[in-house]
Amino acid sequence: MTHAADRRDLAWWIDRTMQVLVLAGGLSAIVFIAGIFLFITREGAGFVFDRFDFREFFFSPRWTPTSNHNPTYGALALIAGTASVTGLAMVVSVPFSLGAAIYIGEFATGRVRETLKVLVELLAAIPSVVWGFIGLSIMNPLIIQVFDVPVGLNVLNSGIILGLMAAPIMTTIAEDALKAVPDGYREAAEAMGATRWQVTFKVVLPAARNGLVAATLLGVGRGFGETMAVLMASGHSVNLPTSPFDSVRALTATIAAELGETAAGSDHYQALFTLGIFLFIVTFAINLAADVFVRGGRRKYRRRGRRPAASANP
Amino acid sequence: MSTAAPPSADSDCAIDVVDLAIRYHGQLALSGVTLKVPAHDIFGVIGPANSGKTSFLRAVNRMDLMTAGMEVSGSVRVEGRDVRSWRNPYALRRRIGVVFPLPVGLPMTIYENVALSSRLRGTRNKADLDVIVERCLRRAALWDEVKDRLDSLGSLLSGGQQQRLTIARALSQDPSILLLDEFSIAVDPVTTMRIEEVLSELKSEMTIVLVTNLVQQARRLASQTAFFLTGELVEVTETEAMFEGAAQDPRTTAYVEGKFG
């Protein structure tokens, strides 16, 4: 008797092929990131090795790359611009996103909860240029009117815009962190007479702490990397801000606005790439930190051993 | 015990259930349950999976409020007062300790696990908390194993230790009723025996409802036992009689003799 062809022999080949394909997919992500880093490093290398002055770059607020006599490349004002806008954005977005995540994750039920989740995800999909437009055409006159200042394109404007922009994605991640807290914790605490808020505050938030920190860090990363909205709402003037009503210029916006006007390979061109390297390193570090926090949260409260299988017992 | 509760007609009865029915999303899970749980005693509840044992417990401490789709009809009186007459269900739950099938060490230190209830109540004094924590851990037969590491995470204890931690936490509420839902499911036999000893000591102070899938456990501990089968209360009988073949219903005898389930 001959054996009929076993479908599983074919499946074995498919399995091998698919493993190679997904491995290639996974590796390509790493290759692309490494490639991007190599590219910006190569473009900025000339500047970094020949012209780079550590003290000037980090401590001088004078960014005058187009000066004919004495071009200077002090990035302090740009770093301060990005940092101040991101900082204010976090002040705006952390309470909003945390509150929204707690409401969606712990208090809302059924249809309200599902609707809110969809809405929050939709908000995350608004293009940044639209946010910039809102900053330019709504926030700008509003700030001029309310605070009686001459210009409404400043740290306050772009901080609020960026905060609102980062809030939805932070909400989604924070809500995921809350959802990762086992329901057993909530039931156990609630069974002993703790109110919903007590359960949230004493049990759920501490248990989700790492995920919440990660959400905030990703928001910070978003703020650091955001270009268009900040370019439109910040006023785009090189300035060390001393109040929220000062116009500033962000690192990202500088690159976006100036790169097109520089000669490839010039000092200016390479200096912009150096800003890019700096941005890359900072956002990479922030994302890495967020990842470490998420992993920490996952490992901390789970025992490594297996639990006996639970019998369904309604 | 409480001054807030109206005087009960029958002070020997801790839980008085009349015609209890429970539905999940309209589907009947338990019906026609009428029974009295005597105070300061261990009351066993046995029955195969899906017989409605856990649903019964959930109705007693009003977990239906936090379970989507769960509806309760009929009356459940705890210490003379209908559980649904409490506008603040948390006040009811404070009087009832619950131990779940899988141990739930909350993600905080062992000390904080046991101190949580007192903290929620408003006790701030460290010395008072120390006393409560030690007393509850001793009564749950866990003190000797954890006294040197009260600051380590409760969720990192072994399954059996976590279950005793859960019991210590329930005791820290100073409950008048303790509901145990198949507590031994994730616990080794030696620890199970230790917890059983603890329970027999506790019954002088509180009413214990012991839902168990081990019929012999009910036999060892409970004075009276209820037999639930597919969403119905078959009978409530003195435990010894039930195991001596004097059950009122042949299905009960078949179950306790291990013929099905």
Confidence grade of residue A23 (pLDDT, cut at 50, 70, 90): very high
Segment A112-139 shows an average pLDDT of 93
Measure the CA–CA gap between B58 and A164, rounded to whole angstroms: 42
pLDDT reading at A298 higher than 80? no
DSSP state string for B235-248: EEEEHHHHHTT--S
Segments making up each domain of chain B, as ranges: 103-172
Alpha carbons A285 and A287: distance in angstroms, whole number = 6
Q: Which residue has the higher pLDDT, B6 or A129?
A: A129
pLDDT tens digits, residue range B216-259?
999 999 999 999 999 999 999 999 999 988 888 999 999 998 88
User: What average pLDDT does this structure show over A129-158?
Assistant: 94
Going from N- to C-terminal start, the domains of chain A cover 77-264
Query: What ipTM is given for this predicted complex?
Result: 0.83
- Per-residue pLDDT averaged across A64-79, rounded? 88
3-state secondary structure of A221: helix
Q: Does the pLDDT value for residue B7 go beyond 50?
A: no
Chain B from 18 to 37: CB within 8 A of any A CB? 24, 29
| Locus of tokens 């991640």 | A173
**A268 in Cβ contact with A262 (< 8 Å):** yes
B214 touches chain A (CB under 8 A): no
pLDDT tens-digit readout, A202-230: 999 998 998 899 999 989 988 889 999 99
Using the predicted structure, report yes or no on whether residue A13 has a pLDDT greater than 50: yes
Confidence label for A311 from pLDDT (cuts 50, 70 and 90): very low
Considering CB atoms only, which of B93, B107, B153 is closest to A192? Answer: B93
- Closest-CA residue of A relative to B96 is A192
CB contacts, 8 Å: A181 with chain B:
107
Instruction: Flag if B91 and A193 touch (Cβ within 8 Å).
Output: yes
Quickly state the pLDDT bin for B14 (edges 50, 70, 90). Answer: very high
Q: Average pLDDT, stretch A119-124?
A: 93
Q: Is B210 helix (H, G, I), strand (E, B) or coil?
A: strand
Q: Are A231 and A243 in contact (CB under 8 A)?
A: no
**In chain A, which residues have their Cβ closer than 8 Å to the Cβ of B50?**
312-314
Tokens of B55: 């649903």
CA distance B132 to A59: 58
Q: Which homologous superfamily does the CATH classification assign to the domain defined by A77-264?
A: MetI-like (1.10.3720.10)
B67-97 pLDDT, tens digit each? 888 999 999 999 989 999 998 999 999 999 9
Q: Which amino acid is residue A252, in one-letter code?
A: T
Residue found under tokens 């990035």: A75
Prediction pTM value: 0.81
Average pLDDT over residues A72-76: 90
pLDDT the model gives residue B50: 87
Residue B1's closest CA among B192, B205, B150, B199? B205
Lowest mean pLDDT among A49-63, B13-27, B137-151: A49-63
Q: Give the mean model confidence (pLDDT) for residues B127-147.
A: 93
Q: Do A193 and B181 touch (CB under 8 A)?
A: no
A117 vs A8, more confident:
A117
Overall average pLDDT of the A21-37 stretch: 94
**Strands laid side by side in the B81-82 sheet:** B81-82, B70-78, B13-24, B27-38, B232-238, B224-229, B42-46, B207-211, B177-181, B96-99
Q: What is the pLDDT of residues A244-286, one digit of tens each?
A: 999 999 999 999 999 999 988 888 999 999 999 999 999 999 9
In this model, does residue A307 exceed pLDDT 50? no
Using DSSP bridges, classify how beta strands B224-229 and B232-238 pair: parallel, antiparallel or unpaired.
Answer: antiparallel
pLDDT of A36 reads 92
pLDDT value of residue A141: 94
**pLDDT value at position A46?**
84
Band (A154; pLDDT cuts 50, 70, 90)? very high
Is the minimum CB–CB distance between B116 and chain A shorter than 8 Å?
Answer: yes
| pLDDT tens digit sequence for B150-193 | 999 888 888 889 999 999 999 999 999 999 999 988 888 998 99
Average the pLDDT over A4-26 and give the result.
91
Task: Determine whether B205 is exposed, middle or buried from the number of CB atoms within 10 Å of its CB (0-12, 13-18, 19+).
Answer: middle
- Rounded to the nearest angstrom, the minimum Cα separation between A204 and chain B is 9
Instruction: Give the separation between CA A125 and CA B32, rounded to whole angstroms.
Output: 53
Instruction: Give yes or no for residue A303 having a pLDDT over 70.
Output: no
A191 close to B (CB below 8 A): yes
Angle at A91 between CA A156 and CA A234, to 5 degrees: 25
CB B173 within 8 A of CB B206: no
Distance of CA B62 to the CA centre of its chain: 13
Instruction: Establish if A309 touches chain B: CB-CB under 8 angstroms.
Output: no
Scanning chain B, the segments in alpha helix (DSSP H) are 53-60, 89-94, 110-121, 126-139, 143-146, 159-172, 189-202, 215-221, 239-243, 250-256
